[in-house]
Amino acid sequence: MKIKNPILSGFNPDPSILRVDDTYYIASSTFEWWPGVQIHMSKDLVNWKLMTHPLNEKRLLDMTGNLDSGGIWAPDLSYYNGKFYLVYTDVKVTDGSFKDCINYLITAEDIMGPWSDPIYLNTAGFDASLFHDEDGRKYLVNQYWDPRSFHHPFYGIMCTEFSEEEGRLVGEPWLMYKGTNDKFTEGPHIYKLNGYYYLFVAQGGTVYAHQERVARAKSLHDEFETQPGEPFLTTLDAPYHPIQKAGHGSLVQTQAGEWYFAHLMGRPLHHSTEAIVDPRGWCPLGRETGIQKVIWDEEGWPHIAGGHNGTAEVAAPPEVREHKWEPTWPGRDDFDSQELNINFQSLRTPLGEDVLSLKDRPGHLRLYGHFSLASTYTQAHIARRWQSFNFDAEVKMDYRPKTIQQFAGLTCYYNTQNWSCIQVTWNENYGRVIDVVSTDLGKTFSVYEEHPVPVPEDAEYVYLKVEVRGISYQYLYSFNGTDWQKTPYIFDSAKLSDEYIKAVYDAAFTGAFVGMMNADCLGTRLPADFDYFAYEELDQTEVDGKYI
Please write the tens of the pLDDT for every residue from 420-456.
999 999 999 999 999 999 999 999 999 999 999 999 9
Which residues have a Cβ under 8 Å from the Cβ of 242 and sit 6 or more positions away? 267, 312
Is a pLDDT exceeding 50 seen at residue 260?
A: yes
Q: How confident is the model at residue 270 (pLDDT cuts 50, 70, 90)?
A: confident
Asked if pLDDT for residue 319 goes beyond 90, the answer is: no
pLDDT at position 85:
98
Q: Is residue 290 over pLDDT 60?
A: yes
Average pLDDT of 168-180?
97
Is-catalytic flag, 14? yes
Q: What is the mean pLDDT of the chain?
A: 95
Is 146 considered catalytic here? no
Pairwise CA distance, residues 186 & 200, whole Å: 9
Residue 278 is predicted with a pLDDT of 60
CATH 2.115.10.20 for domain 13-233: yes
Average pLDDT over residues 384-405: 98
The pLDDT confidence band at residue 540, using thresholds 50, 70 and 90, is low
496 SS3 class = helix
Write down the pLDDT at residue 503. Answer: 81
The pLDDT-based confidence of 415 (bands split at 50, 70, 90) is very high
Rounded CA-CA distance 300/305 in Å is: 15
Numbered ranges of CATH 2.115.10.20 in the chain: 13-233
Could you say which of 3.40.50.300, 2.130.10.10, 3.40.50.2020, 2.60.120.200 is the CATH number of the domain covering 332-547? 2.60.120.200
Give ranges for CATH 2.60.120.200 in the chain.
332-547
Contacts of 409 (CB under 8 A, 6+ apart): 395, 397, 399, 421, 422, 423, 424, 464, 516, 517
* Active-site hit among 14, 212, 467, 499: 14
Nearest to 489 by CA among 446, 530, 455, 526: 446
CA distance 368 to 66: 22
Using one digit for the tens of pLDDT, what is the confidence trace for 16-50?
Answer: 999 999 999 999 999 999 999 999 999 999 999 99
* Cα Rg of the chain (Å, integer): 24
CB 465, CB 475: distance < 8 Å: yes
Asked whether the beta carbons of 310 and 290 are under 8 A apart, the reply is yes
pTM, full prediction: 0.96
Exposed (0-12), middle (13-18) or buried (19+): which is 135, by Cβ within 10 Å? exposed
Which 8-state DSSP code applies to residue 36? B
Instruction: Give pLDDT, residue 4.
Output: 97
Tell me which of 68, 127, 186, 499 is the catalytic residue: 186
Q: Does residue 275 surpass a pLDDT of 60?
A: no
- What phi and psi values does residue 372 have, to the nearest 5 degrees? -75, 175
Is residue 471 within 8 Å of residue 463, measured between CB atoms?
no
Cα gap 294→351, rounded to integer Å: 42
Mean pLDDT of 265-284: 74
